[in-house]
Amino acid sequence: MTPQEITPFYTEAFRTLDQGRHETPDITVEFYPYIGINHTIRIRNDRILVRVAELCREMPANEQKALAYILVSKLLRKSVPPSARRVYSHYIKTHPVQEAARENKRARGRKVLSGAKGEYFDLDGVFEKVNRIYFGNRIERPELSWSARRTFRILGHHDPAHKAIIISRTLDAPDVPKYVVEYVMFHEMLHVALPTEHVNGRRLNHTPKFRQEERKFLYYDEAESWIADNARKLKRRAGGK
């Protein structure tokens, strides 16, 4: 659809949600080359400016209208109509749309990978051991890398778009037990085995099923305790980042 075809949806949404309290401003809609499925709406110089992700250019009229109601609701600080959220979310979660978003991120996003070989731990070996013991070697090997910087808030990260698992370089140290590195790797590999679920428009990464499976790690209690007991040390090591 063209921006001109979509604009009336925003006019309708504003008039419906505002309930005639204000005169409808001029509205400009454009497609914007965001890397992901992102959209923005704002008022500038008494005009409403809407940017819809280029990835949604082919989105059908009914879904475009639902998105209009969602964005205008946020602009006016109104509750999003459940029907609009349901229609839009159903479209966005479809496999072709999600795959297009991942491919766009792979093509245009930038992921800094510093390699799996650390000073004290080799992530290739850690992955192979965890995959063999807990997953029966069913997890396809992703890109493995230590983070470019030391971090303490996020000790591991699974990036499905780049098919990568990143482990915080803060853990590549002689005083870190190997089972802690293996536990963080296990946690991220679980994200591969148990992908994100979408429920009522919410992204659920750590579902009850996920937490149940996480506790199957042999040294779960020890790893959780070590991380909690050494939080301040990890923070200092990471420089507070």
Confidence of residue 188 (pLDDT cuts 50, 70, 90): very high
Q: Name the residue type at position 63.
A: E
34 vs 203, residue with greater confidence = 34
Q: What is the DSSP string of 34-59?
A: -SSS-EEEEEETTEEEEEEEGGGTT-
What average pLDDT does range 221-236 have in this prediction?
94
The per-residue pLDDT for 241 is 55
DSSP state of 197: E
Q: How confident is the model at residue 46 (pLDDT cuts 50, 70, 90)?
A: confident
122 against 113, higher pLDDT: 122
Domain chopping of the chain, boundaries: 3-108, 123-237
Q: What is the pTM of this model?
A: 0.58
Q: Evaluate whether 208 touches 194 at the Cβ level (below 8 Å).
A: no
**What is the fold of 3-108?**
Zincin-like (3.30.2010)
pLDDT over threshold 70, residue 51 = yes
Identify the top-confidence range among 19-28, 112-121, 153-162, 223-232.
223-232
Residues of the chain by 3-state class (helix, strand, coil), percent to 5:
50, 15, 35
For residue 177, pLDDT beyond 90: yes
* Residue 201 clears pLDDT 80, i.e. is over it: no
Give me the residue label for tokens 């965890």.
Answer: 130
Beta-strand relationship, 47-53 and 143-146: unpaired
> Which of 96, 68, 78 lies closest to 8 in space, CA to CA?
68
Per-residue model confidence as pLDDT tens digits over 71-92:
999 999 999 999 999 999 999 9
Mean pLDDT in residue range 34-56: 89
Give yes or no on whether 3-108 and 123-237 have one common fold: yes
Average confidence score pLDDT of the chain: 89
- Which value, in Å, is the radius of gyration of the alpha carbons in the chain? 22
39-64 average pLDDT score: 92
Q: Tell me the CATH architecture of domain 123-237.
A: 2-Layer Sandwich (3.30)
Mean pLDDT, rounded, for 14-39 = 90
Q: Give the span between the Cα atoms of 66 and 26, in whole angstroms.
A: 20
